[in-house]
């Protein structure tokens, strides 16, 4: 999946939730458990996000989980997960979610 260069916060959140709900793969049990844990943590952290600033704060508060999410993502969605991890890391580095929103 390739996200548009600029997308709305609501669209990004919807894509994150879609990916977070996709946990089937042939990964080891340990990787599946770690991915499911990261999934739950990120889902909870973004559940009430309604704007770019709130999304940025949720990303900052969950940097280690985001990193792990990318590392243990099931092979079936690994490349999609890496797109989200890259976007999250770019927002954190820039201290701005402007590139993720209209």
Confidence of residue 4 (pLDDT cuts 50, 70, 90): very low
What secondary structure letter does DSSP report for 22? -
**Any domain includes 79:** yes
> Does residue 10 lie within any of the structural domains?
no
The closest of 30, 23, 20 to 88, measured between CA atoms, is 20
pLDDT confidence tier of residue 49, bands split at 50, 70 and 90: confident
Q: Containing domain of residue 75, as a range?
A: 29-95
Count of CB atoms within 10 A of residue 27's CB?
18
Residue 100 lies in a domain: no
| 4 domain residue, yes or no | no
Q: Is residue 17 part of a domain?
A: no
At 51, is the pLDDT very low, low, confident or very high (cuts 50, 70, 90)? confident
Per the domain annotation, does 74 fall within a domain? yes
> Is residue 43, in this structure, part of any structural domain at all?
yes
How many domains is the chain built from?
1
Which whole number is the average pLDDT over 76-91? 90
Q: What is the predicted pLDDT for the residue at 10? A: 54
């Amino acid at each position: 999946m390739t996200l548009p260069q600029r997308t709305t916060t609501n669209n990004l959140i919807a894509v994150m939730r879609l990916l977070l709900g996709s946990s089937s793969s042939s990964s080891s049990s340990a990787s599946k458990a770690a991915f499911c844990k990261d999934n739950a943590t990120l889902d909870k952290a973004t559940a009430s996000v309604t704007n770019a600033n709130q999304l940025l704060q949720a990303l900052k508060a969950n940097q280690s989980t985001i990193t792990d999410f990318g590392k243990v993502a099931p092979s079936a969605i690994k490349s999609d997960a890496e797109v989200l991890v890259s976007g999250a890391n770019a927002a954190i580095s820039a201290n701005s979610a402007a590139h993720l929103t209209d």
